């Protein structure tokens, strides 16, 4: 059985005004039916909204989804920048891992130093 939402519930869910929800219903972007003088909006149509909106925008603009809207040189430049940033991110991750390992080693060495100081203190007391 399909779940339905009121206009108010749908507007809260989508983060838009009730007027916008009614406009979506009028334009067929959201599936709804009138029940007792109130709109009942199919919850599933809220999940389909991004795809439905995209289709409407594409119809109005008239540009296919696979068409690039940027200059090829700019696009290639952006791809190189993304690759460079990904390489830096991997390097940063590697450095962070190494830093964490060094912190663990320092903590272990500090514990060892503490134990050695305790032993040294015990030897000094025994000699006295």
Chosen domain end from 61, 85, 109: 61
- Label each residue of 27-57 as H, E or C: CCCCCEEEECCEEEEEHHHHHHHHHHHHHHH
Range of the structural domain that residue 16 is part of: 4-61
Express each pLDDT in 34-60 by its tens digit.
Answer: 999 999 999 888 888 776 666 555 555
Shared domain for 57 and 75, answered yes or no, is no
Number of domains within the chain: 2
Q: Are strands 32-35 and 38-42 parallel, antiparallel or unpaired?
A: antiparallel
| Residue ranges, the chain, pLDDT below 70 | 1, 51-70, 125-128
Within this chain, do residues 57 and 73 fall inside the same structural domain, yes or no? no
Residues 128 and 74 in one domain: yes
């Amino acid at each position: 059985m399909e779940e339905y939402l009121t206009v108010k519930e749908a507007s809260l869910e989508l983060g838009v005004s009730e007027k916008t929800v009614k406009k979506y219903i009028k334009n067929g972007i959201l599936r709804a039916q009138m029940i007792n003088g109130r709109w009942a909006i199919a919850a599933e149509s809220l999940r389909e909204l991004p795809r439905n909106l995209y289709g409407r925008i594409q119809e109005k603009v008239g540009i296919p989804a696979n068409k690039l809207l940027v200059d090829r040189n700019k696009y290639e430049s952006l791809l190189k920048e993304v690759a460079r940033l990904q390489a830096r991110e991997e390097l940063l991750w590697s450095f962070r891992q190494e830093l964490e390992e060094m912190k663990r080693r320092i903590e272990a060495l500090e514990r060892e130093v503490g134990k050695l100081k305790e032993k040294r203190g015990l030897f000094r007391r025994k000699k006295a």
